[in-house]
Chain A
Amino acid sequence: EAGVVQSPRYKIIEKKQPVAFWCNPISGHNTLYWYLQNLGQGPELLIRYENEEAVDDSQLPKDRFSAERLKGVDSTLKIQPAELGDSAVYLCASSSSRFTGELFFGEGSRLTVL
């Protein structure tokens, strides 16, 4: 069974440029998460989807961040415009139930903003 797939693995951009990350969850997993992880810290939730619906996006900085999960399968996280402080790893995870249990993580997308 394929795991959570994220792309790109690495992205280097200049500040004020846009960037997008893509995530394909494990087949059949209805719940999808985007986490941000700064160096040396634990992941912080940005947004959680139940199928196509964003059920927890209170920590998503909506002035520059946006996310979508069309058709309730794969998802895209966008930053526009990027700032220096956005340099981090963006992790996608999925689970089979909104009552949590085990989360399956992708390898992450490492963003460097110059």
Chain B
Amino acid sequence: SQQGEEDPQALSIQEGENATMNCSYKTSINNLQWYRQNSGRGLVHLILIRSNEREKHSGRLRVTLDTSKKSSSLLITASRAADTASYFCATETSGSRLTFGEGTQLTVNP
């Protein structure tokens, strides 16, 4: 069963624009992570935000976490064609289980 739900399911933007993806979850978490998956490849870890953190940055990535609303967002600024991929949020709950959402398919058009 999936704990997280990403929104939107698909997103298409032009190069240089910002892309925002949202993730909602159901139960209390220890941390929330975002991963990227290029077509036909494995997942690559992007960023981890702990339950006591509200915002985190890594290069062109900005992640926010609102535990009261049980939601997170991933912002990619100044997107590039190479950012085209599926993006998944994953929540770690008690017992150290990491559960992934359904993902957002991002297409960045050159």
Residues of A within 8 A of B (CB): 4, 33, 35, 40-45, 48, 56, 91, 93, 98-108
Within 1-57 of B, Cβ neighbours of A (below 8 Å) are at 1-2, 4, 30-31, 33, 35, 41-45, 48
The answer to whether B97 touches A43 (Cβ under 8 A) is no
Cα-based distance from A102 to B35 in the complex (angstroms): 10
Interface residues on chain B, number (Cβ under 8 Å): 25
The answer to whether B95 touches A45 (Cβ under 8 A) is no
The chain A residue sitting closest to B45, CB to CB, is A102
Contacts of A45 in B (CB 8 A): 97-99
The answer to whether B102 touches A4 (Cβ under 8 A) is no
The answer to whether B103 touches A41 (Cβ under 8 A) is yes
The chain B residue sitting closest to A91, CB to CB, is B42
The answer to whether A48 touches B43 (Cβ under 8 A) is no
Cα-based distance from A42 to B44 in the complex (angstroms): 13
Cα-based distance from A45 to B2 in the complex (angstroms): 10
The answer to whether B98 touches A42 (Cβ under 8 A) is no
A-B contact pairs, 21 of them (CB 8 A): A40-B102, A40-B103, A41-B103, A42-B4, A42-B100, A42-B103, A43-B88, A45-B97, A48-B97, A91-B42, A93-B43, A100-B30, A100-B92, A100-B96, A102-B33, A102-B48, A103-B43, A104-B45, A105-B44, A106-B42, A107-B42
Q: Closest CB-CB distance, B22 to chain A, in whole Å?
A: 15
Contacts of B33 in A (CB 8 A): 102-103
Q: Closest CB-CB distance, B2 to chain A, in whole Å?
A: 6
Q: A43-B43, A102-B48 are in contact. List 20 more A-B contacts (CB 8 A).
A: A41-B2, A42-B90, A42-B100, A42-B103, A44-B2, A45-B97, A56-B96, A91-B42, A91-B43, A93-B42, A93-B43, A100-B30, A100-B96, A102-B33, A103-B43, A103-B98, A105-B42, A105-B44, A106-B42, A107-B41
With contacts A41-B103, A42-B2, A42-B103 taken as known, whether A100 is within 8 angstroms of B98 at the C-beta atoms is: yes
The answer to whether A108 touches B42 (Cβ under 8 A) is yes
